């Protein structure tokens, strides 16, 4: 009897010790995985990358639901390039960013920069990244070195992450683009801020490619390049209530580079503001591309001293490329610009420069009210563009 009692007591003690061990290593009710409990220092100088990956692996491999990787407030975590790899055993996982994440002080201090992605999330279903925290890429040393964009890291890279939500976080000074969405389905991005100097090169806010059903709303983006760039494979994209500026506006493209086939369709950009941006509503394609961009709407747009408020450029080329004879082009059709008002820094408020090979078809200019800052008469230019103007600058678009 006594031996049985002691054995029972010992089993209870072992279970208690086991539970306390789990708690000590970051488990709270088997839900919260605190990176501090996995060895992160949070002092802003120690490399905490291994602790972050360890916490992620523990969470991702566990079963159940509502798992959270906690990056706690009042701490600053230095990270080298790392990958949060999926799939996870839980149907939904969460990264709670309440503290600060910082990159190495300068480009010389980076290590393991092989894929040119800083913090990556791969093949994770049901991922939510949220919180009041910040991530700072300290990108100035990359910008000042005039390094090509292809040799600079993206700040946050999401690939193959379906049912993705990004909410509340703030991103500063990415060496390249702040957020990349690639091969993702069902994405919601809201209440975020993406910030970089207006002269910082290639610091796009959000780049989207080969992704469908993406909603971006109630966001603030001010960088040195496109607030949003919709690259090939962007389908069913809804952008609303974005404050854009400084930057290059919201762009479809560039598409068709080096003769590639590009597809973008079903895009709505509504109730957005552009403040002192280089461009407003823009579509840009390279000569000799293939594919199409169609069913695109820019509606209820407010402009403040925007340089190129409305632009379709089918002769887009980066610096250093040689112009060649055009034999093909991305086909642009069913594009609506409506309820666009405000001020332009330049006299040319509308430029629709389409390919002579395919032309632009079914273009609509409706209720456009843009004045120039200097008070000059607005100038519009249309080339190889077919459609209609309603209450706006009759005669620019050709009729069939």
Domains assigned to the chain:
31-222 (2.160.20.10), 226-399 (2.160.20.10)
Report the C-alpha gap between 390 and 245 in whole angstroms.
28
| Section 57-84 average pLDDT | 95
Query: What is the pLDDT, as a whole number, of residue 20?
Result: 45
Query: What is the pLDDT, as a whole number, of residue 18?
Result: 43
Q: How confident is the model at residue 115 (pLDDT cuts 50, 70, 90)?
A: confident
Number of residues assigned to the chain: 400
Q: How confident is the model at residue 318 (pLDDT cuts 50, 70, 90)?
A: confident
Query: What is the pLDDT, as a whole number, of residue 10?
Result: 58
Model confidence, pTM:
0.91
Report the C-alpha gap between 296 and 330 in whole angstroms.
14
| Section 77-103 average pLDDT | 97
What is the distance, to the nearest Å, from the Cα of residue 264 to the centroid of all Cα atoms in its chain?
16
Query: What is the pLDDT, as a whole number, of residue 9?
Result: 57
pLDDT value at 22 more than 80: no
Query: What is the pLDDT, as a whole number, of residue 240?
Result: 98
pLDDT value at 248 more than 80: yes
**pLDDT, greater one: 132 or 1:** 132
| Section 277-302 average pLDDT | 97
Report the C-alpha gap between 350 and 389 in whole angstroms.
12
* Residues acting as catalytic residues: 248
Query: What is the pLDDT, as a whole number, of residue 325?
Result: 77
- Look up tokens 């208690």; give the residue: 16
- Look up tokens 């709670």; give the residue: 96
Query: What is the pLDDT, as a whole number, of residue 380?
Result: 94
**Does an H or E element contain 55, and which?**
helix 49-61
Q: How confident is the model at residue 13 (pLDDT cuts 50, 70, 90)?
A: low
Asked whether 388 and 399 are in contact (CB, 8 A), the reply is: yes
Q: How confident is the model at residue 29 (pLDDT cuts 50, 70, 90)?
A: very low
Report the C-alpha gap between 210 and 146 in whole angstroms.
29
pLDDT value at 15 more than 80: no
At 320, list the tokens. Answer: 């250093």
Q: How confident is the model at residue 27 (pLDDT cuts 50, 70, 90)?
A: very low
Asked whether 390 and 358 are in contact (CB, 8 A), the reply is: no
Query: What is the pLDDT, as a whole number, of residue 224?
Result: 98
Q: How confident is the model at residue 21 (pLDDT cuts 50, 70, 90)?
A: very low
| Section 188-207 average pLDDT | 98
Asked whether 181 and 207 are in contact (CB, 8 A), the reply is: yes
Q: How confident is the model at residue 321 (pLDDT cuts 50, 70, 90)?
A: low
What average pLDDT does the structure give for the chain?
Answer: 92
Query: Per-residue DSSP letters for 314-325?
Result: TT---TTPPP--
| Section 329-355 average pLDDT | 97
Query: What is the pLDDT, as a whole number, of residue 64?
Result: 84
């Amino acid at each position: 009897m006594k031996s049985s009692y002691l054995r029972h007591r010992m089993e209870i003690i072992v279970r208690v010790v086991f539970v306390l061990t789990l708690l000590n290593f970051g488990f709270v009710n088997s839900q919260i995985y605190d990176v501090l409990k996995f060895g992160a220092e949070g002092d802003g100088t120690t490399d905490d990358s291994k602790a972050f990956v360890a916490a992620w692996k523990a969470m991702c491999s566990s079963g159940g639901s509502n798992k959270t990787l906690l990056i706690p407030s009042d701490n600053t975590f230095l990270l080298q390039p790392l990958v949060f790899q999926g799939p996870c055993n839980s149907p939904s996982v969460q990264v709670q960013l309440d503290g600060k994440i910082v990159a190495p002080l300068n480009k010389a201090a980076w290590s393991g920069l092989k894929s040119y992605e800083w913090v990556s999330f791969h093949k994770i279903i049901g991922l939510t990244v949220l919180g009041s925290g910040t991530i700072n890429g300290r990108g100035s040393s990359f910008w000042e070195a005039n390094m090509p964009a292809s040799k600079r890291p993206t700040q946050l890279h999401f690939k193959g992450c379906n049912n993705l939500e990004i909410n509340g976080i703030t991103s500063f000074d990415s060496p390249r683009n702040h957020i990349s969405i690639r091969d993702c389905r069902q994405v919601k991005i809201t209440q975020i801020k993406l910030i970089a100097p207006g002269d910082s090169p290639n610091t796009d806010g959000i780049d989207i490619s080969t992704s469908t059903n993406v909603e971006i709303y109630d966001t603030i983006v001010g960088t040195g390049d496109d607030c949003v760039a919709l690259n090939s494979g962007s389908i069913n994209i809804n952008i609303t209530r974005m404050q854009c500026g400084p930057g290059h506006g919201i762009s479809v493209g560039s598409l068709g580079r080096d003769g590639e086939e590009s597809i973008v369709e079903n895009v709505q950009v509504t109730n957005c503001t552009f403040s002192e941006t280089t461009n407003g509503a823009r579509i840009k394609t390279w000569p000799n591309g293939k594919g199409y961009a169609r069913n695109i709407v820019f509606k209820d747009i407010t402009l403040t001293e925007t340089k190129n408020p409305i632009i379709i450029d089918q002769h887009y080329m980066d610096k250093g490329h040689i112009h060649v004879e055009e034999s093909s082009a991305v086909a642009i059709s069913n594009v609506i610009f409506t309820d666009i008002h405000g001020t332009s820094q330049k006299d040319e408020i509308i430029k629709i420069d389409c390919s002579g090979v395919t032309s632009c078809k079914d273009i609509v200019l409706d209720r456009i009210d843009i004045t120039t800052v200097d008070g000059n008469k607005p100038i519009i230019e249309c080339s190889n563009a077919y459609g209609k103007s309603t209450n706006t600058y009759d005669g620019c678009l050709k009729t069939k």
